[in-house]
């Protein structure tokens, strides 16, 4: 039986281990054609707004995603 806590923490650490070990060499503005792509933005997209809302209503947790954290409506 997999320990869920260990499983999720391992998954979360994988991108850090795989990619984070690469050097953080400064990237100049003219080199950011991939980073500036609309699909690469680090925040949730506007079209996900309602999804994030219903997930915060139907689940016991919220926050750390730029969306609702609690309060502001009778739903949470």
Partner 1 sequence: MALLFSFYQFLSAFGQASHTDSSTYSKRPLKLEEVNFVSSYYNQDGNNSAVTGGIGTEKLVDLANVLDLVYLKTDKHNRLYNLNLEMGIDHYTSASSDKIDPSTVSSASSHDTRYYPSITLSRKDNKRTTLGIGLSYSNEFDYTSWGIGASYTKASKNNNREFSVHLQSYFDQWTVIYPIELRPPGGGFSGHGGGRKDNVPNTYKPRDSYSSSFSYSWVINKRFQMMTLMDLIYQTGLLATDYQRVYFTDNSERIENLPGKRFKLPLGLRANYFIGDRVIMRLYYRYYMDDWGIRSNTLSLEMPVKITPFMSISPFYRYYQQTVADYFAPYGMSTTGQTYYTSDYDLSKFSSQFFGAGIRFTPENGVFKMKHFTSLELRYGHYIRTTGLVSDIISLNATFK
61 binds partner 1 (CB under 8 A): yes
26 binds partner 1 (CB under 8 A): yes
Gyration radius (Cα) of the chain, Å: 17
Judge contact between 15 and 21, C-beta under 8 A.
Answer: no
Backbone angles phi, psi at 33, to 5 degrees: -65, -30
Residue 10 DSSP SS3? helix
15 binds partner 1 (CB under 8 A): yes
CB of 55: closest distance to partner 1 in angstroms? 7
List residues near partner 1 by CB under 8 A. Answer: 4-5, 8-9, 11-12, 15-16, 19-20, 22-29, 31-32, 34-35, 37-42, 45-51, 53-55, 57-66, 69-74
């Amino acid at each position: 039986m997999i320990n869920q806590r260990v499983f999720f923490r391992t998954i979360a650490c994988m991108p850090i281990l795989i990619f984070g070990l690469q050097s953080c060499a400064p990237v100049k503005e003219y080199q950011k054609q991939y980073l500036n792509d609309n699909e690469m933005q680090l925040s949730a997209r506007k079209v996900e707004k309602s999804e994030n809302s219903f997930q915060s209503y139907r689940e016991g947790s919220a926050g750390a995603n730029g969306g609702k954290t609690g309060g502001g409506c009778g739903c949470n």
